[in-house]
Amino acid sequence: MSVAIVILNFNGKHFLEKFLPLVIATSPPGTIYVADNGSTDDSLNYLKNQFPEIPILIGEGNLGYAGGYNRALKSLDTDYYVLMNSDIEPNKNWLNPLVDYMERNPQVAAVQPFILDYQNPEQFEYAGGAGGYWDNLGFPFCRGRIFDSIEKNDEQYATSIVNWATGACLLVRSETYWKVGGLDDYFFAHMEEIDLCWRFQRAGYQVAAVAESTVKHVGGGTLAKENPYKTYLNFRNNLILLYKNLSGWKKCFIILMRMAADGLAGVKYLFSGDFALIWAILKAHFAFYFYMLFQHPKQNLAPELVKVENIVSYPKSIIWGYFVQKKKKFTDLKF
């Protein structure tokens, strides 16, 4: 059993200075690597001078989260990969519970620790909480976080099978990772881990979140929440996610409904004067049309591997539940 902990770095010297020593101190039995994604700051010199024992996987150009990890992981021969953001502060003994869970559950392809907020560690963090789900229109949410409502971690959630695990700190079986095609390079960043976890499940595997393991996440280290490019990626990738992983009439219906919902989001931004975000949504839709017409999904699941189609997560609308029924916590939802 071997574990590679791979930290993807893009101009993140300040995060490496702050968090890499903690990763080293808390991560046996894993071997730590830093995968550089074309950084232009002083990251590489800092690593070579301060941590010469840490192997650096140097890549030319920024390929985003998805492409950067695929490029780096291809060079490693280990049983497990940990995909870890550079802005993660791991707590003590975070790794062993994840590996132990995977060893005991061979049908599980990916697991995450519970993600806590670095600034407010008593509460969950936006990016992953205690494991993720999607609703009947493909809107993602987490145990511990629905839209902007973040819950305090009162140990109300246990280790459980979920639908997606966050890419902020993700342990995967290397063989299964490549079996389903790895991360989709076309996504670049945002929702690529949801696509990966969806493909795991379509191939008959499971995904889990392990309560015995916790890490703290700064979040927004690359793109701020309301950055127009982040809005563009989220809206574009969510449509591509549905296009790739749904089938039949359900695919057509849900994508049309999502486009209508995107239009409503655009109206909201119009009234708030966020014209850059409106343009980001329009660009996302045009990019999605381009994807459907010209971009063959090379990293989709091979047809012979598909065992389950149209996987159901939360069978209702999280938008209706949150904004109309005022269900602000995961425990308020009825699956």
Mark whether 200 and 77 lie in a shared domain: yes
Mark whether 163 and 279 lie in a shared domain: no
Total domains in the chain come to 2
pLDDT at 295 (0 to 100): 81
Task: Calculate helix-pair angle for 43-50, 13-26, nearest 10 degrees.
Answer: 40
pLDDT tens digits for 111-143? 999 999 999 999 999 999 999 999 999 999 999
Supply φ then ψ for residue 88, to 5 degrees.
-105, 130
CATH number for 60? 3.90.550.10
Is residue 98 classed exposed, middle or buried when 0-12, 13-18 and 19+ CB atoms within 10 A define those classes?
Answer: buried
Mark whether 207 and 288 lie in a shared domain: no
Residue 126 lies in a domain: yes
Mark whether 232 and 199 lie in a shared domain: no
Q: Which two tokens stand for residue 185?
A: 């390079």
pLDDT at 152 (0 to 100): 97
Mark whether 164 and 189 lie in a shared domain: yes
Contacts of 219 (CB under 8 A, 6+ apart): 87, 117, 118, 125, 126, 127, 168
Mark whether 189 and 168 lie in a shared domain: yes
Domain end residue (candidates: 217, 243, 274): 217
Residue 294 confidence class, pLDDT cut points 50, 70, 90 = confident
pLDDT tens digits for 169-214? 999 999 999 999 999 999 999 999 999 999 999 999 999 999 999 9
State percent of the chain over pLDDT 70. 98
Mark whether 133 and 49 lie in a shared domain: yes
Mark whether 274 and 321 lie in a shared domain: yes
Q: Which two tokens stand for residue 268?
A: 């909201």
Residue 300 lies in a domain: no
Distance CA 265, CA 130 (A): 27
Distance CA 102, CA 107 (A): 8
Q: Convert 149-167 into a string of H (helix), E (strand) and C (coil).
A: EECECCCCCCCEEECECCC
Residue-range definition of the domain harbouring residue 127: 3-217
Query: For the chain, how are helix, strand and coil distributed in percent, rounded to 5?
Result: 40, 20, 40
Alpha helices, DSSP H only, in 185-227?
192-202
Residue 171 lies in a domain: yes
The helix/strand/coil state of 56 is: strand
pLDDT over threshold 90, residue 225? no
pLDDT at 1 (0 to 100): 86
Residue 308 confidence class, pLDDT cut points 50, 70, 90 = very high
> Phi-psi region for residue 9, left (φ > 0), alpha (ψ -120 to 50) or beta?
beta
pLDDT at 183 (0 to 100): 97
Residue 283 confidence class, pLDDT cut points 50, 70, 90 = very high
pLDDT at 335 (0 to 100): 86
pLDDT at 223 (0 to 100): 58
State percent of the chain over pLDDT 90. 93
pLDDT over threshold 80, residue 148? yes
Neighbours of 318 (CB within 10 A): 22
Mark whether 115 and 185 lie in a shared domain: yes
Mark whether 180 and 242 lie in a shared domain: no
Average pLDDT taken over every residue of the chain = 95
Task: Calculate helix-pair angle for 228-245, 248-272, nearest 10 degrees.
Answer: 170
pLDDT at 224 (0 to 100): 58
Domain end residue (candidates: 186, 217, 248): 217
CA nearest 269: which of 284, 287, 251?
284
pLDDT over threshold 60, residue 221? no
Mean pLDDT of 49-70: 97
